[in-house]
Structure formats: structure tokens, C-alpha cells
Structure 1
Amino acid sequence: MKVHLYRDSDVFYNESVRALKENSAENSLFLGLLQQAIRGNNPPLFMCRAKNDVFCMQTIPNQAVLAFKTRQPSASTMNMLVQALKDRPITRFVGVKEPVLRLAHLLAKARSSSVLTVMKQRLYQLNHASLIPLTSGTIRKMKREDLPFVAKWIQEFDDEANLSEKRITVKEAEKTARQQLDKGGLYLLEVDGIPVAMANATRKMGQSVTINLVYTPRPFRKKGYATSCVTALCHQCIKDGFSVVLLYTDLGNPTSNHIYQEIGFEPVSDSIVMEVKKVD
């Protein structure tokens, strides 16, 4: 049996949703990004399935996001995936920690390459019963006049988060800011009329929504604004009818992990970003 390759992103989405329905929260990044790509008429560059256990897609250059029906795919399934990926120009792999680690090391061996852990992440889900009350400031949706400073914040966020191999340019940050304005999910926390932090409600699928782009500029840090912004956005998401609110954190930042648990988030699973390429 070989890896099944897809050209039709709608078919790929439908089959992945059916296969992953038992652990859709754990695979929310994969499913959400795929849905966004389809809605934006920008299908993935590469889509494949190994048996009915592992789904893989490439939405940006050099990076693939993976979804797993089980955290322990069989050896034959993993080897099939390695054969499908070893000659493709993909160097970064994102997904649930245990199987992505296995894949990275198998792929490194097949490519005679090195393995590097780029980021360790944790997925959290909000426990509604534990959500703390609203705190300081108020949130509002991003407006068109906010575009200049939001673009600057997005570029600063990318610089600090190291989410892709290359840092985004000013023009790319401006484009992302315009996209967020059009989608209507980015919120700003204001204190005394001044925007001091932002957070974004994205990857809306049925009753599920994910919060990302949580950022506080340096002049406003250590004042609890990120906590206030995320808390207020959680309340807004619940008001908008979402029963499942998800959030990823960088495990290298213990402060943010502690803050999100104080807000009312509980761990679901760990994910990882691995890099597999030759080192000069």
C-alpha cells in the first residue's frame, strides 16, 4: 500500500474530518488551517494520507502540518510517510509531539540529515466553569485605522515567536494585518483609550474556536494586559456561541503557560515543531 496523494482539497478535508473526529481538538491546528486554505481559495501545496491514520499537508514553503488518528501510528504507516516525504522540499514538521518526533528522526535518517527542535508547544482547552471574571480594560474589534500599528505588532510577534524559518517582511506583516481586519477576529485591549495588547479568534469550526496572536508590546508588558485581553476574548467567544475555546502556548515560556491556566485553560496535549535538514 502506498501513500494516497490528493489534488482535491475538499475531498482531503472531508476525509480528514471523518478520520479525526474522535480527537478533533488535538488536531485543530491541522483542520483549521486546511479549512482556512479552502475558504481562501488557496489550496495546500501538497496533501497526502498514510493509510487512514496520518494526514499531512503543506500550506507554506518548507513546512508541513500533520494530523494523527492515534499518537502511535504503526511502523509501516510511518515508513510509508517517510518515503512520500523524503524527496520533497519540506524541512519543518508541526504536530502532536510523540509521532512528529518519530517522523523527524526517521526522515533525518532517510535524508542523512540532522534534527532540530524548533519549538515545544502545548494545546489548552478552556474549562468554562473555571474562567475568571473580566479584569482591567475593554476589548474591541480591530478597525481600519489600526492597520499601521497592528502590522508592526504582528511583525514583532513573528520575530519573537519564531514560527517559520524566515521572518516576515514589513509588507507581509501589512498584508497579514489587512487579512485579519477582513476576517474580523482580531481584538485589541484598550486601557484609558490606548491599545495595549491584542489577541485573535481564528480557525472557527462548528462550536470550536482557537485564540492566537496574543501579543503585548514591550512598553506595556508586566501589567497583566495579556491576561486581561485573553480573558475578555474568551468571554466574547462564549457569548458568540463557541463551546470549545483552544489555545497553543510555547512551553519555553513558563509565564504564559501559568497565566493561561489561571484564566481557566487546561492542558490537552503537547505538540512540537521539528526541523530536518542538512547542517553546513
Structure 2
Amino acid sequence: MQCEFLTDPAEFLRAARPLLEADPVLATVPATIAERRADGLEESPAEDWWLLVRSGGELVGAGMRTAPFGERPAYLLAMPDEAGVVLARELHRRGEDLRAVSGVAGPATACLAECARLNGGRVEVLHHQRLFELGTLREPADVAGSLRLATESDLALASGWYEAFAGDADEQAGRVRGATPHLVRRDDMLRRLRSELVWLWEVDGEPVHLTGVNAPSLGVVRVGPVYTPPAHRGRGYASAAVATTCRRLQAAGNRVCLFTDQANPTSNRIYAALGFEPVTDTVMLQLG
């Protein structure tokens, strides 16, 4: 089992394409970020890396360490658990201190457990997530309001709701507010607005809900965040906005997926009712 580290996202996309295309829904996170950076829409800091894992010359896994927040968690796709152990040992040999990992549970857990053995610390679970793909869409009826694209004039509102989403999600899942690392940069939000990746549900001209999406990658669009301020919850706005957005995405020929926090029964119930079906479970871990 061998780990190869790359610094060029375009090179990563070329080398990992067979693996990414084999399951583009499962690969949605690294594929989306790599394409954004390869297209020059996002900076690629020198300390970031992209990972290829080979066994006997065969590509068996991929990952990355590109997160700009918290402990800069690595992200691992499906690969043998042994590969996670090999990665931890290679990073230790390189003098790189990895203290957080997210992605497919098996290799992520194996990797951080080995990091703990080598560097000290205790593996803690920040949260469990579930990846869903939309099957047959079931749209809710009789929800007041309509969907519109957010524009640059909505920058302050969108940025504030992106920030509030992470904190509210922590509280709804029973975690301390701020437990999940999150960062919203002004330049990134402007890029999202200019790329028509943020939608608002309005009632009588007042925005009451936000649905964000990511640009298509390998024919897949990942939805998120999905946020309704507390004062407007319980009226079906999230279901209606997500359904309307997804209908348009599917009509354009895209597969649609999203992640949910397994500790939040409300969001899981809403997405199941809309026709989302579970694909796999993922985890976010850190060393305490």
C-alpha cells in the first residue's frame, strides 16, 4: 500500500478520474473542490495536498487535505482500512501533525487511531453524517412563497445565514454551538452568488429560507447548506425550496445528493419524504 501526495488539483483529477467516475456521488466532495481549484475559482495553498492510494500499482483510494478551518481535517474516500493506517504513518514520517479526519468511516477511523498512537491524543467523534442521493422527487403541496436566485445584494444575508446554519445544526444535534468548524469567506460567498449557487425562498417579498448548492461535478450536484431561521420554521419552506431547486437540477440532467447530520432527525425525515435515499455513512473525527 503506497500513498502519493499531489499539490496540483488538475493533476489529481487526471490521475484519480477512473476512481472518481466509478462512483461520482460518493466522490462529490473532493471532485467538487478539485474542479473549483483547477478552474482557478479558489486558491490552492502550498500546504494542501491531494492523495492517491495504490496497492500493487492499482488505484484503490483517494483523499485530500484542503480544509481551511479548525484542525484542517483530511477527507478520505472509500479505501481499505489499512490505507488509513499507512497514511497516518507516512504523515508522521513527513513530520505532519494530522489531528482531524472526515469521510468514509472505516479508513478515517483507522487513520486517526494510528495518528493517536503515534502522536498521542484520544479519538473523538464530532459527528456522524449520512450521504443521500435523490431518487424520484416528491414535491410538497400548498407551501406559501416562491424561489428566487440570490444576488450580490443578498451578500450580507446569505453570509449570515451560512454562519448561522453551522451553529444551529450543532444545537439541533445536541452539540455545543460552534463545535463543528465552519468558515464563510466574503470572496467565496461572492463567487457562489455570481455563479448562481444560492437560492432564497420568499414569502410576500421577504426571504425566509436559503438553499445552497455546489457547481456540478462529474454530473452530480451536492445541495447544502439548507437553512431556515428559527422564526420561519415549521411552515414547509425548506421542503418546498429544496424540492423546487432539485427539480430544476434534475431537469438539467444532474444527479442530486446531500449530506445530513445523523443526530438531526428533523432534516433526515424531511429529505426522506422528498425522495432522498441513503448512499453511505461518513464521520468527522478529531484528536482530543
2:73 partner SS: strand
Please identify, of 248-257 and 3-12, the stretch whose mean Cα deviation from structure 2 is larger. 3-12
- What residue in structure 2 maps to residue 233 of structure 1? 245
Q: Secondary structure at the match of 2:37?
A: helix
TM-score normalised by structure 1 residue count: 0.87
How many correspondences in the alignment? 268
In 2: Cα distance, 1:30 partner to 1:164 partner: 23
In 2: Cα distance, 1:177 partner to 1:188 partner: 14
Percent identity over paired residues: 25
Structure 2 counterpart of 1:50, from 47, 50, 53: 53
Query: The residue matched to 1:229 in structure 2 has which SS?
Result: helix
1:109 partner amino acid: R
Hey, what's the Cα distance between the residues in 2 that align with 1:256 and 1:234? 16
**Cα distance between partner residues in 2 of 1:175 and 1:201:** 16
- Pair 1:210–1:193, CA change in 2 (3 A): same
Does the C-alpha gap of structure 1 residues 135 and 268 become closer, same or farther in structure 2, counting only changes over 3 Å?
Answer: farther
Structure 2: distance between partners of 1:125 and 1:194: 30
Q: Where has structure 1 moved over 6 Å in runs of 4 or more?
A: none
Contact kept? 2:19, 2:61, Cα under 8 Å: no
Amino acid at match of 1:8: D
SS at match of 1:132: coil
1:4-39 deviations in whole A, cap 9, x for unaligned? 121332121122221233222112112112222222
For residues 191-219 of structure 1, what are the alpha-carbon distances to aligned partners after superposition, in whole Å with 9 as ceiling and x for unaligned?
12211101112141142111011000111
Task: Describe the superposition over 1:41-87 as per-residue Cα deviations: whole angstroms up to 9, x where unpaired.
Answer: 5236112222122222111242211122x4xx163x33321112333
Show the counterpart of 1:274. Answer: 285
Cα–Cα, structure 1 residues 143 and 9, in superposed 2: closer, same or farther, change >3 Å? closer
The equivalent residue for 1:85 is 91
The Cα of 1:257 is off from its aligned counterpart by 0.2
Normalised by the length of structure 2, the TM-score is 0.85
Q: Which runs of 5+ in 1 are unaligned?
A: none
- Alignment check: 8 A CA contact 1:152 1:173 kept: no
1:216: which partner in 2? 228
Residue number among 246, 268, 274 corresponding to 1:263 in the alignment: 274
Residue identity in the other structure for 1:37: R
Q: Does 1:146 align with 2:149?
A: no
Q: CA deviation at 1:159?
A: 2.4
RMSD: 2.2
Match of 2:103 in 1: 95
Q: Give CA deviations for 1:69-127 in whole Å, capped at 9, x if unaligned.
A: x4xx163x333211123332432211112221222222211222211111110011011
- 8 Å Cα contact 2:85/2:110 also seen in 1: no
Per the TM alignment, residue 230 of structure 1 is displaced from its structure 2 partner at its CA by 0.6
